[in-house]
Amino acid sequence: MSDNGAQTIEDLNQERMQEEYLKTLEELEEGQLIEGRVIEGTDETVFVDVGYKSEGKIRLEEFDSPPQIDDVVHVILISKEGKEGQVIVSKKKADSREKQLLPENVFSMMFSKPGEKTQRL
């Protein structure tokens, strides 16, 4: 805000950017399958940017092979905020859900009887 109390264009742009950021936070829901980008990796952990206020941390063992920086991965949002304020995500659960959504699995689910097991995950 300027000295005379009027909002400047810069103030309005800042306010609009904050509103847009908050909207993206509201759009993410726990249990949702989301896309993330690998931003860092260690010998044990992969950090994934999912567009939230902090990165998700995934154990390297959830990957078939170590991902590269900027690789796109699908994860399930387990919790928006863990004990230490981080986003909790799971690649293993995302892989399982994607497998369920393959055309041959959807077809068998559509034509199975209610309560009948169609496959074991």
Distance CA 11, CA 22 (A): 17
- Cα→Cα distances 57→6, 18, 22, Å: 43, 25, 22
Please give the model's pTM, rounded to 2 decimal places: 0.60
Model confidence pLDDT, tens digit, residues 19-52: 665 555 456 788 888 899 999 999 999 999 988 7
Average pLDDT, integer, range 80-106: 76
